[in-house]
A and B are shown apart, each in its own frame.
Chain A
């Protein structure tokens, strides 16, 4: 930004007109799908061995998975809640329902779904997006996938895209067992352990060697039950020389009770393979989003993360790229928008192990109406990573004087044969720029929205077109909310 300054002059003009309106419900996402009690199976609130066994039984887990869940629960009980990020006192695990399943089987046709669930996804535009631009779609409603379908031609390429439950017992059972929570072990942190204990749903993708999937696969996660948790597991294995783009979208209606999302994403990028992983997260503002995402790249492999965080009450989200193979490469492009009542702690972690590995982090964060946005990153270049290159570029835009933006970039470099750069900027919307744009006939609100959209543009231009449009709409919506 041209007008970025290190200090933060108080912008009086902003206070005059903004920050007076209450949180406006976001119509598009906040519709509550009418659920009838008898149509759903759910476990009791809280987290006990009994509940974990119940979930396992309900899901017909193989024996090793039940053991894995119980071990994870023990680890969960031993680990402490992180004390370095946003406070999560408002999250009481004793009140969270960890498993809610609609009494419907997974379908491969939208028409076969119960009307209410089908309507929910119709409102979100998922079936239409599938018809128009996706190679495969998975849709999760509360704890289980209710819809899964892959285009025939993609299936014929040998690409496997299925729900995690089928994958656990199907043809790829060994492969799943070999990889499941190996990259993010339950010992990683308390909520990884929680995930290990109660995970349900999510997607499994396997792309065989030398396969290029031209159009994206997408999973959509909808958490509808109040006071519930969603713990989906996404496992993607891209074999040597292959290329795929995976998109995940998340949303939930707003309730007065805390909801929890503690998903886990594990991405294995093979030799010279390429994976792009895009996320648009728009959880409701009663959601604790404690999500863990990690990728590991073999020689010459590339992981690209595109991440848009708009929703949730509090987020801890730092996708990690482990650059294990020589010459592997990681890029993280992210945007975070923290509005009223939101405390979003987001960023990325890059771990360089192999020689001549490279990583780029480019993030934008925006805060307004008292929202707190913290950029947190860690770039670690180990001794073995000679010739590594890393660059970090983070920009923050504060839209008023009651919001807060922090930048916490850490770097740990253990070899002198590395090239590392860092740039951080924090700024406000310049009144002069608003005047300039208004002098061309643009209204003040529109001018501000255009400046914010422009600020976000380096990220939105990386998104598929319809997602970029959605993101711009979200920005507009946030801006109009005052």
Chain B
């Protein structure tokens, strides 16, 4: 097995607000470097919560358990510190920031992440390459971040950011939901490129469309905040055919 990059140990978490309920119960999950994991489950099972907790969202709080990344305990780390270590979350609903172009946003993110000034020429060249790889219109990067983007455009922009930022681990939260054929093609292509370049993936999904062209190493099934089944890529097909009913008590 590959070297472990993400290790979740006995993690329980819930809403950070007072009296917020617990959503995740005693999760154990180990992801090896370069592997592709799929986290499946019906709506409300806690899949997105898990993705957000790994990223450090202030909406949730960890009640017990630990998260290790690259061998380091990151349970208490700030969101940006986790990103700097190489974790990336593709949002289910990417946020809009008026007056800030996608290009300026990325330039700032790369500068903050690396702690070095961005070389404009190199940066522009890299942007052009990635846009071309994803078959995206160059005007994309001049638009205000996600403002007025269609659902598909937002997801394409997330994948564009993924390839620009080159994290070690990408958590894709329902990146394939609500996409038209064109967007599915772009998103799948982007994920494939990331995978081929050695990136580690944790794909959160309740459908399997973008998985068709990907090699899946491990599948985890989440029901009511608990991992109820784990297997290899073939588990995806099994669930496709049989659904989750078998796992629901």
Listed in ascending order, the chain A residues whose CB lies under 8 Å from chain B are: 1-2, 13, 430-433, 435-444, 446, 450-451, 453-458
Which residues of chain A are within 8 angstroms of B84 by Cβ–Cβ distance? 441
Which residues of chain B are within 8 angstroms of A446 by Cβ–Cβ distance? 108, 112
Residue pair A435, B57 in contact (C-beta under 8 Å): yes
B 82-108 to A, binary, CB cutoff 8 A, 1 in contact else 0: 111001110100111111100001101
Q: Which of A430, A431, A450 contacts B105 (CB 8 A)?
A: A450
- B78 in the interface (beta carbon within 8 A): yes
A1 to B91, CA, bound (A): 19
The 9 closest A-B pairs by CB, nearest first: A454-B99, A457-B99, A441-B113, A454-B100, A438-B79, A2-B96, A441-B83, A440-B109, A436-B95
Interface residues on B, range: 20 to 34
Chain B residue nearest to A452 (CB atoms) is: B99
Given contacts A431-B58, A446-B108, A446-B112, contact A439 B97 (CB under 8 A): no
Complex A-B: 8 CB contacts under 8 Å: A2-B95, A430-B95, A433-B97, A435-B55, A441-B165, A443-B80, A450-B100, A456-B99
A36 to B133, CA, bound (A): 67
Residue pair A455, B89 in contact (C-beta under 8 Å): no
- B22 in the interface (beta carbon within 8 A): no
A1 to B94, CA, bound (A): 14
Chain A residue nearest to B93 (CB atoms) is: A432
A402 to B35, CA, bound (A): 48
- B147 in the interface (beta carbon within 8 A): yes
Which residues of chain A are within 8 angstroms of B55 by Cβ–Cβ distance? 435, 439
Given contacts A13-B58, A454-B100, A457-B100, contact A442 B95 (CB under 8 A): no
Report B184 CB to chain A, min CB distance, Å: 23
A441 to B98, CA, bound (A): 19
Which residues of chain B are within 8 angstroms of A430 by Cβ–Cβ distance? 95
Total CB contacts across the A-B interface at under 8 A: 88
Listed in ascending order, the chain B residues whose CB lies under 8 Å from chain A are: 55, 57-59, 78-80, 82-84, 87-89, 91, 94-100, 105-106, 108-110, 112-113, 144-145, 147, 161, 165
A457 to B144, CA, bound (A): 11
Which residues of chain A are within 8 angstroms of B57 by Cβ–Cβ distance? 435
Chain B residue nearest to A457 (CB atoms) is: B99
A435 to B94, CA, bound (A): 11
Residue pair A439, B98 in contact (C-beta under 8 Å): no
Which residues of chain A are within 8 angstroms of B87 by Cβ–Cβ distance? 439
Chain A residue nearest to B146 (CB atoms) is: A2
Residue pair B105, A458 in contact (C-beta under 8 Å): no
